[in-house]
Structure 1
Amino acid sequence: MPSLFDQVALRGLTVRNRIWLASMCQYAVDACDGVPTDWHLVHLGARATGGFGMVFTEASAVVADGRISPQDAGIWNDTQADAWARIVGFVHERGAAAGVQLAHAGRKASIEAPWRGGTTVAPADGGWTAVAPSAVAFDDLAAPRALDSAGIREVVDAFAAAAVRADAAGFDTVEVHGAHGYLVHQFLSPLSNLRDDAYGGSFENRTRLLCEIVDAVRGVWPERKPVCVRLSATDWVEGGWTLEETCEVSRMLGERGVDLVDVSSGGLDPRQQIAIGPGYQVPFARAVREKAEVTTAAVGLITDPAQAQRILDEGDADVVLLARAALREPGWPWRAAHELGIPAAEAPYPPNYARGAWRS
Structure 2
Amino acid sequence: MPQGRADMGFPAQDPDREDREKGYKEEFLGRPGKENRIRIQEVIMAKKDNPFKNLLKPIKIGPVELKHRMVLAPMNDTLSGHNGEATEQLISYYAARARGGASLVITGAIMGTKLASQFVWGRNLYCFHPGHIQGLKLLTDRIHYFSSQACAQITIGFGRQGHSADHHELAPAATAGLPYEIALEKGPKAIEIAWKNIEHPRSFLVGQMTREMTIDEIHSEQKEFARSCQLLVIAGFDAIEIHAPHGYLEHQFLSPFSNKRTDMYGGEWRNRKRFLNEVTEQVRYAVGTGVALGVRISAEEHMEGGLTREEMIDVGKDLEERGIDYLSLSDGGGYEEGGHLVPDKDRAKHIPEHGRDFKKAIKIPVMVASQHDPVKADADIGDGMFDLSALGRQLFIDPEYPNKIAENRPDDIKRCRYCHTCLGISLAGAGIACPHNPELGREYANPEYMIGPRTEQELIISRGMLAGDMPCLDRPWWKPEFPIVEKAWRKFRGPGRR
Place the TM-score, normalised by the shorter chain, in its bin. 0.7 to 0.9
Structure 2 CA distance for aligned equivalents of residues 189 and 86 of structure 1: 37
Q: Please give the root-mean-square deviation of Cα atoms over the aligned residues, in Å.
A: 2.0
1:23 matches 2:74:
yes
Matches of 2:322 and 2:139, distance apart in 1: 30
* Alignment deviations for residues 251-276 of structure 1 (CA, whole Å, 9 cap, x no partner): 11111101100011114251566484
Distance 1:314 1:133, change over 3 A: same
2:123 aligns with 71
In structure 1, which of residues 130, 134, 138 is the aligned counterpart of residue 180 of structure 2? Answer: 138
The residue number in structure 1 matching 2:366 is 296
| 1:328 lines up with 2:378 in the alignment | no
Distance 1:273 1:333 in 2: 27
Partner Cα distance (2:334, 2:324) in 1: 23
Which range moves more in the overlay, 266-275 or 315-324? Answer: 266-275
Q: Work out the CA distance in 2 between the residues paired with 1:199 and 1:246.
A: 17
Give the structure 2 partner of residue 316 of structure 1.
Answer: 385
Are 2:172 and 2:210, in contact at CA under 8 Å, matched by a contact in 1? yes
- 1:55 maps to what in 2? 105
| AA in 1 matched with 2:91 | L
1:69: Cα distance to partner? Answer: 2.6
Q: With structure 2 as the length reference, what TM-score do the two structures score?
A: 0.63
Shifted more, 217-226 versus 227-236: the winner is: 217-226
Query: Structure 1 CA distance, aligned partners of 2:235 and 2:302?
Result: 37
- Structure 2 distance, partners of 1:63, 1:307, is 39
Does 1:106 find its partner at 2:186?
no
- In the TM superposition, residue 138 of structure 1 has moved relative to its aligned partner by 1.3
Aligned to 2:488: none
In 2, the alpha carbon distance for the partners of 1:197 and 1:182 equals 20
**Corresponding residue number in structure 1 for 2:332:** 266
What is the 5 A alignment of 1:67-216? Answer: 67=117, 68-103=120-155, 104-110=157-163, 122-123=165-166, 129-135=170-176, 136-139=178-181, 140-216=206-282
8 Å contact from structure 1 (residues 237, 269) kept in 2: no
Mapped partners of 2:260, 2:360: distance in 1: 31
Q: Does the CA-based 8 Å contact 2:339-2:347 persist in structure 1?
A: no
Q: Is contact 2:162–2:208 with CA below 8 Å preserved after alignment?
A: no
Distance 1:163 1:310 in 2: 35
1:227 aligns with 2:227: no
CA contact (8 A) 2:162 2:207 kept: no
TM superposition shift of 1:70: 4.9
Alpha-carbon deviation of 1:278? 4.3
CA contact (8 A) 2:70 2:104 kept: yes
2:149 maps to a residue whose letter is: A
Q: Which amino acid aligns with 2:321?
A: E
Structure with the bigger percentage of strand? 1
The DSSP-based 3-state class of the residue aligned with 1:191 is: coil
String of CA shifts for 1:17-50, please: whole Å, max 9, x gaps. Answer: 11000110011233x2111111221111110000
Distance 1:71 1:271 in 2: 22
Give 1:116's aligned residue.
none
Shift in Å, 1:62: 0.6
Rounded Cα–Cα distance in structure 1 between residues aligned with 2:288 and 2:311: 29
Which residue identity lines up with residue 137 of structure 1 in the other structure?
Answer: P
CA drift of 1:303 comes to: 1.5
The answer to which of 290-299 and 61-70 deviates more is 61-70
8 Å CA contact retained: 2:264, 2:271: yes
Question: Quick one: distance in 1 between partners of 2:325 and 2:63?
Answer: 11
Look up the equivalent residue of 1:290 and give its one-letter code.
K
Using CA pairs below 8 Å that are at least 6 residues apart, which structure has the higher relative contact order? 2
User: Mind listing any 5+ residue stretches in structure 2 that lack a counterpart?
Assistant: 1-51, 182-205, 411-447, 450-498
C-alpha distance in 1, partners of 2:368/2:56?
16
Q: CA deviation at 1:65?
A: 3.5
